[in-house]
Chain A
Amino acid sequence: MTALAEAGTRWSRQADPESTRRQSIAQVWRGFLTATRLGWQTEANWTNPVVYFLYAVCTPVFATLMLVFMIQVISGGNAPPAYRAYVVIGSGLWSFVVAGIAGLAWAVLDDRERYRMLKYLFVSPNDLLVLLLGRGLARMMVGAMGAIVTLGLGVVVLGLPLDLARIDWPVLVAAMVLGLVSIVALGLILASVAMQTRQDSWHYPEAVSGALFLIVGAVFPLNILPTFAQAFGLISPLTWWLEAVRRALFPDIQSGIGGAGSLYASLAGHDAPSGIEALLALLLTTVVVTLAAVATYRWSEHRAKERGLFDVTTGS
């Protein structure tokens, strides 16, 4: 069996733990990219791309169209175009949010319940967190397809008043980056919960994103909510993310946060946040949520190791 011995010559050196006390950045990056690829291949049923495309893209498009149509009916056709833009952005971006929030948790559940590979991933030299982030990113890319198509259709079909010359690109780019981080952080918190083996964990991401949909001003402004719900909305980074994106794309759009009688107005002393203000609030809330998420994840991982949960399946 010379192949076995040759392999030993080549690889034993690589396995020298003295020289690899820490993983190099390149190795972490490679693990991340590979996990993203794995996520892309396992998440998307590419054996039937047409069905998959319909699922990934048509769902958010039709959900958005339905909302726009309902608003038209309720307002008797008098809804201002700016409000239509408000709804299309909130609803269109939401498929991205759901994918991000569910992606990491479902990666944990899929790997433990379906593929039974979670323990092998965990004892590979990569940090499981990095692998989960890669898997989550893959799902978000699918969600992003839906969001982009929805927004594009909004402009072309619904005639949203998008003026490319007036887009605030720096704010838009910064908001998208921070938004991505905060969505992943929320997903990580749910992945931490999913790791604790509960049979019903599959439904948590949808439940949580459903609840968030209501309090972050996705399709209607916060000020129609009771004060305590507005308070929750104000501490969620998603609220500020949507606000900053809307401001950057449509400078004249109505605020989802401020307005007459809103909690924001009574706290801040002025009617609505500016784009920069929204961006700063987004930054602050993102940092807090991200730190909380990493701490939660580490605690969850430790607890799973303490209780031996990496290969326990709930049969769900």
Chain B
Amino acid sequence: MPVSPTPLHSAAALAIDARNVGRVYKAKPNPIVALDGIDLTVRPGELFGLLGPNGAGKTTLIKILTTLLLPSSGTASVFGFDVERQTSQIRRIMNIVSGGEQSGYGLLQVREQLWMFSQFYGLGVREGWRRVDELIDLVGLQEQRVQKVSQLSTGQRQKLNFARGLLNDPWIFFLDEPTLGLDVSAARATRELTLAWQAAVPGRTILLTSHYMAEVDEMCDRLAIVDRGRILAIGTPAELKHRVQSESIFRLELDRLDRGVGALARLPGVISAASVAGNDNGADGERNTILVKLVLVDDGALGPVVSALAGLDAHIVSLQKSEPSLEDVFVELVGRGFEDDLTVHQNGTGLRSAGSRPADEESVAEELAGRSR
């Protein structure tokens, strides 16, 4: 029977307990406030996401929790162990993998490098080899087993790094942008492995950072939206999305609307109706339709609106419910877009939104592929 991490130490201990953690980097000309009073608790067994733009402080927080960096203020503990004073205990029960880096001892073989770390983690010689071979199979580096680390591709190096991270079977696994720079299938494989590893033994905990919203939305039980060293919101993806939007949004495509969107806006249950200009279809000229973004008090208001359309002599070409995305949450909280190319959403010039598609594995991969160009 699998052993779950928590009972070994203390059933009550939180996986992460950060209180008012601050971090200032000394820098010229002005000190940089990377973390500005972070309060965060993560329970054992959670897959927790940190979502935020470049420079938000995600890596800084991970460095503090993994005992690489001291906080400037506040306290933090991992499974009840203080990050400043009980570093040796924390180092036994956690591991960290950062994405997008070219790390590794180039002259060593894949197997040798992993074996060395197995020894640094205190596994016996034979146990070490067995574990190394298991993990090589698990991450899919079978064919590179005896290849030199210097000859690995970026994705293969990342797999190697992942295997190293699992060598000590951590209770808590810190993943700092683990899919950065990976192609679609490698990124998907990494996500699947992460989820499978976590699901295999109850209590295994993951803290994941990303600026891929779909990835966080898809994988995490809960997440925090971070910007400029502060946590702006914490909750499950659904909660956060619900928070920005208690109304229902629909995207309505009509063949014609002679009396203008104003007529729609006056219907009962409609909060607002706005025609959406500059749509992708507009250019081809073949489909001469009108796109309307309808905000309703709730889903129930849709029926009367649809009946009323007949009276307006308009026919529905398509109707789609728009789910709010984490992007919407971010824009709402911060008042600006997440990344520059996505601020179009805020300007209201288009309806491009990750949330209008279901966040399934494929769309996550698609989105990631699109952005990593």
Q: Which residues of A contact B (CB under 8 A)?
A: 1-18, 20-23, 27, 30-31, 33-35, 37-38, 41-42, 45, 47, 114-117, 119-126, 131, 305-308, 310-311
Contacts and interface: CB of A to CB of B under 8 A. Distances in A.
B197 A4 contact: yes
Contacts of B170: 15
Interface stretch (B38-46, B105-113, B322-330): B105-113
A33 B122 CA distance: 12
The 5 A-B residue pairs with the shortest CB-CB distance in the complex, in nearest-first order: A11-B169, A8-B201, A4-B200, A116-B103, A34-B119
Contact of B106 (A23, A115, A120, A126): A115
Contact of B138 (A4, A35, A115): A4
Nearest to A47: B107
Contact of B134 (A7, A45, A310): A7
Given A4-B196, A16-B8, A23-B88, A306 B119 contact: no
Interface in B184-207: 196-197, 199-201, 204
Contact of B120 (A11, A18, A121): A121
A124 B8 contact: no
26 contacts: A1-B196, A5-B2, A5-B200, A5-B201, A7-B134, A7-B169, A9-B201, A11-B169, A12-B4, A12-B8, A13-B3, A14-B169, A15-B93, A15-B170, A18-B8, A22-B88, A30-B119, A34-B116, A42-B105, A42-B107, A114-B106, A115-B105, A126-B120, A305-B69, A307-B25, A310-B68
A30 B126 CA distance: 13
A117 B105 contact: yes
The CB with the most chain B CB atoms within 10 A, among A1, A4, A121, is that of: A4
Given A13-B3, A23-B122, A308-B69, A120 B116 contact: no
B105 A14 contact: no
Nearest to B166: A7
Contacts of A8: 2-3, 169, 200-201, 204
B171 interface: yes
A122 B103 CA distance: 14
Max count, chain B CB within 10 A of own CB: residue among A10, A20, A125, A306: A125
B70 interface: yes
Contacts of B372: none
A33 B116 CA distance: 10
Nearest to B5: A12
A12 B69 CA distance: 26
Interface secondary structure of A, over-half rule: helix
B66 interface: yes
B26 A120 contact: no
Interface in B51-99: 60, 63, 66-70, 79, 81, 88-89, 91-96
A125 B122 contact: yes
Interface residues of B, number: 58
A125 B91 contact: yes
Contact of A125 (B68, B92, B103, B138): B92
B144 to A, nearest CB: 18
Contacts of A16: 8-9
A250 to B, nearest CB: 41
Contacts of A35: 120
Interface of B: 1-5, 8-9, 25-26, 60, 63, 66-70, 79, 81, 88-89, 91-96, 101-108, 112, 116-117, 119-123, 131, 134, 137-138, 164, 166, 168-171, 196-197, 199-201, 204
Given A13-B3, A17-B81, A31-B120, A305 B70 contact: yes
Contact of B25 (A4, A123, A308): A308
A124 to B, nearest CB: 4
Contacts of B68: 119, 122-123, 305, 308, 310-311
Contact of A17 (B92, B107, B138): B92
A233 to B, nearest CB: 39
A305 B25 CA distance: 12
A308 B196 CA distance: 32
A3 B193 CA distance: 12
A122 B117 CA distance: 12
A3 B92 contact: no
Contacts of B26: 307
Contacts of B92: 15, 17, 20, 125
Contacts of A114: 106
A125 B121 CA distance: 6
A151 B9 CA distance: 57
Nearest to B120: A124
Nearest to B103: A116
Nearest to B102: A116
Contacts of B200: 1-2, 4-5, 8
A271 B121 CA distance: 55
Contacts of A305: 67-70
B137 A3 contact: yes
A12 B104 contact: no
Contacts of B1: 9
B353 to A, nearest CB: 34
A125 to B, nearest CB: 5
B120 A3 contact: no
B101 A116 contact: yes
B76 to A, nearest CB: 14
Given A12-B3, A305-B69, 17 more contacts: A5-B200, A8-B201, A9-B2, A9-B201, A10-B169, A15-B8, A27-B122, A33-B119, A34-B120, A38-B116, A41-B105, A114-B106, A115-B103, A119-B68, A123-B94, A125-B88, A131-B120
Contacts of B122: 14, 20, 23, 27, 30-31, 125
A163 B131 CA distance: 54
